[in-house]
C-alpha cells in the first residue's frame, strides 16, 4: 500500500536509529559530507571499478580546491570541477544513499530519493558548500581574478 503522505516511500537509514541527539547530529553531518556507504554499495552491487573511480574523482576534486588555495586554479575551473563532481555525486548517492530528508530538518524522517530529489539535494547542498568554500577562499585573498 502506498503512503500518500510522502512523495516516495519512507525509509529509515540505519544510522538514524541513534537514540542520542548528539550522535544523530554527527551522523547527519557525516551523511551530508560522505556520499559513500558500504551497505548501499553492496546492496546495489556496485563494481569495485566504480568505487575506485569515485574515490579517485573525490581526490581530484579535493586537489582542485587545494590548487585554488595556491592560486593555481581560477574560479571557473573550480566551478567546472565542482559541477562535474556534483553530477557524479548524484549518481553515487542514488546507489549508496538513495534517500532524502522529508519534512522539518530537525526531525528524523527520510524517504526514498527519486533522481530529481537527488539532483535537488546534491545541487542545493553543494551550492551551499561551494559558496562557503568560495567565501573562505575569497576572504583569504584567493580566487581573486576571474
Partner 1 sequence: MPSLPDSLKRWMRLAFLSVAVALPATAPALAQTAYEAQLPAALDTAAALCEHVPCAEVVPGATHFSERKGQPRYVEAYVERNGHRELAGYVVLSTDVTDTPAYSGKPVVTLIGLDTRGRFIGVRILKHSEPILLLGIPEAALTAFNRQYLGKFIGDNIEIGHSRPDENIIGLDAISGATVTVIAQNQVMMAAGAAVGRQVGLLEATVRPPAQFLDPGRPLDWATMVSEGLVRRLAVRPEQVGLARAAEPFIELWFGDLNHPAIGRAVLGGDGWAALRQRLGEHDHALFILRTAGRESFKGSGFVRGGLYDRVQVRQGQDAFTFRDLDYLNLYGVRAAGAPAFSESGIFIVRSPAFSAAWPWKLVFLGNRVDRETGARTFANFDAEYWLPDDYLAGGRPAVVQPDAPWVRIWKTRAPQIALFSLLLVTTALVYASRDRLTRRASRKNPWPVNAFKYAAWITSIGFVGFGLLAQPSITQVLTWFHALLFQWTWSLFLSDPFIFLFWIFIIVTVFLWGRGLFCGWLCPFGSLSELIYKVAGAVGLKRIQFSLPKALHDRLKWVKYGVFLGLLAVSMFSMTLAEQLAEIEPFKTTFLVGLFNRSWPYTLFAAGLLGLSIFIERPFCKYLCPLGAALAMPSTFRWFGLRRKQECDRCKACGTGCGSLAIDADGRIDQRECLLCLDCMVMYTDDHACPPLVSERKRRTRAGVEMTPIGTDGYFIPIRPVPPDTPPAN
Using CB under 8 A as the binding rule, whether residue 1 contacts partner 1 is answered as: yes
Query: What Cα–Cα distance (Å) separates residue 36 from each residue in 107, 127, 140?
Result: 22, 19, 31
Q: In the chain, where does DSSP find H-type helix?
A: 21-33, 38-43, 48-69, 75-96, 115-139
Using CB under 8 A as the binding rule, whether residue 104 contacts partner 1 is answered as: yes
Using CB under 8 A as the binding rule, whether residue 130 contacts partner 1 is answered as: yes
Tell me which stretch binds partner 1 (CB under 8 A): 25-33, 35-43, 49-57, 74-82: 74-82
| Cβ 142 vs Cβ 71: under 8 Å | yes
Residues in the chain: 146
**Residue 100: strand pairing partners:** 111
Using CB under 8 A as the binding rule, whether residue 145 contacts partner 1 is answered as: yes
Residue 11 backbone dihedrals phi, psi, to 5 degrees: -135, 160
**Per CB under 8 A, which of residues 2..41 are in contact with partner 1?**
2-8
Using CB under 8 A as the binding rule, whether residue 101 contacts partner 1 is answered as: yes
Size of the site for partner 1 (CB under 8 A): 32
* Contacting residues toward partner 1, per CB under 8 A: 1-8, 71, 75-76, 79, 100-101, 103-105, 116-117, 119-121, 123-124, 127, 130-131, 134, 138, 144-146
Amino acid at each position: 500500500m502506498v503512503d500518500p503522505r510522502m512523495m516516495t516511500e519512507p525509509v529509515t537509514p540505519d544510522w538514524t536509529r541513534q537514540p542520542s541527539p548528539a550522535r544523530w547530529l554527527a551522523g547527519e553531518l557525516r551523511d551530508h559530507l560522505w556520499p559513500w556507504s558500504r551497505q548501499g554499495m553492496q546492496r546495489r552491487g556496485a563494481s569495485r571499478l566504480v568505487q575506485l573511480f569515485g574515490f579517485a574523482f573525490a581526490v581530484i576534486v579535493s586537489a582542485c580546491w587545494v590548487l585554488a588555495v595556491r592560486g593555481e586554479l581560477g574560479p571557473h575551473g573550480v566551478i567546472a570541477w565542482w559541477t562535474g563532481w556534483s553530477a557524479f555525486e548524484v549518481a553515487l548517492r542514488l546507489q549508496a544513499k538513495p534517500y532524502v530528508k522529508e519534512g522539518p530538518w530537525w526531525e528524523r524522517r527520510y524517504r526514498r530519493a527519486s533522481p530529481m530529489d537527488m539532483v535537488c539535494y546534491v545541487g542545493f547542498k553543494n551550492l551551499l558548500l561551494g559558496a562557503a568554500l568560495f567565501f573562505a577562499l575569497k576572504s583569504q585573498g584567493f580566487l581573486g581574478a576571474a
